[in-house]
Amino acid sequence: MDALTEIELKYTIPDEAAAQRLLAQTEWGPFRRGPIQQQHLYDRYCDSADHALAAAGYALRVRQAAGMAAVQVKSRSPAGGGHQHQRQEWRVITPTPLQPLLWPISPARNLILAILPDPALLPLFAVAQVRHRAGLWLHDQEIAEWTVDRVSWLVAGRSLTAWEMEIELAPGQSPALLDAVDRYLLAQGQVQPQTDSKFERGLRLLLAAEVQP
């Protein structure tokens, strides 16, 4: 099935003060960021009642806007895979995100129906983000998307908030560029490697809530 490949670095930012310093910074060695755009995002992560998609190695995210939903299915990050995440992803736009049988014919629909014989999706938890987004440039080329996010996991009536940074490689660019960016970022000591995706942390919070009396 046709899929996109996403390659990105993920980091945890220790606190808001550190996040504000990163937002004010424009250069890391030879790399510079472009103008920042701010977005407010609200995502729901969904699965079957028995978490069959997660068990099969996938996460499904629904992002709503203007009466339509952007559904994104991603392969899960492997355990112990480090903070450079490489994942396959499938996308579809639909007004019925929780009903895969009604999605447009697409690789995303085919994948979900191959895993779920009775494809009834339920929201598991939500993630709200204030995203600060910019291009990351090397000389005259935009080599990646740079984001600093205030992330809130909304799980089983509880909320957990953290600051994070992501550097997503632009299509056609070499992963070696991420290695170079990574060295500059870690040398400054303002961020820590994050080996888990937002989905993995949300799912962990959900499973912990489910076993509590």
**What does pLDDT average to in each consecutive run of 10 residues of the chain (213 residues)?**
87 97 97 97 95 96 86 87 93 94 96 90 97 97 98 95 98 96 95 96 92 63
Q: Number of folded domains in the chain?
A: 1
The span from the CA of 166 to the CA of 57, in Å, is 22
- Under DSSP, the state recorded for 104 is P
Give alpha helix (H) positions in 4-104.
16-24, 52-56
Question: What pLDDT shows up at residue 213?
Answer: 56
Residue 140: C-alpha distances to residues 29, 33, 132, 134 (Å): 15, 12, 22, 15
The span from the CA of 202 to the CA of 171, in Å, is 28
Which CATH number covers residue 134? 2.40.320.10
In which domain, by residue range, is 151 found? 4-211
Question: What pLDDT shows up at residue 212?
Answer: 65
User: Three-state SS for 207?
Assistant: helix
Question: What pLDDT shows up at residue 79?
Answer: 67
